[in-house]
Amino acid sequence: MNYATIKPRDIANGPGVRVSLFVSGCTHRCPGCFNSEAWDFDFGQPFDQAVIDRILEDLSPSFVKGLTLLGGEPFEPQNQPAIVELLRQVKAKYPEKSIWAFSGYLFDRDILSGRLGDPAVTREYLSYLDVLVDGPFIQAQRNLTLRFRGSANQRLIDVPASLKSGTVVLWEDWQGDGRGLK
């Protein structure tokens, strides 16, 4: 896997100050995408243990609330194994930090179906997530007033609650459980 960029202090892609990893590679190719250069799987730099170590260091200050995964497309099958290794290490070192991911795939139709690569890897990936912003960016539904998303079709999903209930549970930012603002 390659990555396009790492933002060590990001306040736009989830609650609080976050570390954001923008992975390379996306097959959605949404018209109007803000990060179209990251569609190419070969764009950017190789993702390896040194990059994971950098992210872990960036997450160390107590004011950093968590990690956000964006792209490109973090749920592309070829990106999932490297991301899962990152998430294992993040949760082992910082269990209190929240993890968010943005995906053009739909949680209930695409991700849970097991059609995106190895279903066991996808399930492990989901087990680390607190919130998933799902759905492709649709330029005709673009809305700059929406919090943490670019178009009205996109949902903010409470992943643990959704997995537990077997139905999509939307995230509410008033939650004081580490996944939202405190």
Distance CA 106, CA 154 (A): 9
pLDDT for 97 beyond 70: yes
pLDDT for 174 beyond 80: no
Q: What percent of the chain has pLDDT over 90?
A: 78
Backbone angles phi, psi at 133, to 5 degrees: -95, 110
* pLDDT (average), residues 100-129: 95
Q: Which helix (H) or strand (E) holds 52?
A: helix 49-58
Distance CA 42, CA 46 (A): 9
pLDDT for 182 beyond 50: no
pLDDT for 17 beyond 90: yes
For 2-165, CATH number out of 3.20.20.70, 1.10.3720.10, 3.10.580.10, 3.40.225.10 equals 3.20.20.70
Answer whether 32's CB lies under 8 Å from 65's CB. no
pLDDT for 16 beyond 60: yes
pLDDT per position as a tens digit, 132-153: 999 998 889 999 899 999 899 9
Question: Token match 């996808």: residue?
Answer: 122
* pLDDT (average), residues 60-80: 97
Answer whether 75's CB lies under 8 Å from 106's CB. no
* pLDDT (average), residues 13-33: 90
Q: What is the pLDDT of residue 176?
A: 52
Residues 6+ apart with CB under 8 A from 79: 1, 23, 25, 71, 72, 73
Mean pLDDT of the chain: 92
pLDDT for 163 beyond 60: yes
Lowest-confidence segment of 20-29, 57-66, 156-165 by average pLDDT: 20-29
Distance CA 32, CA 108 (A): 24
Per-domain residue ranges of the chain: 2-165
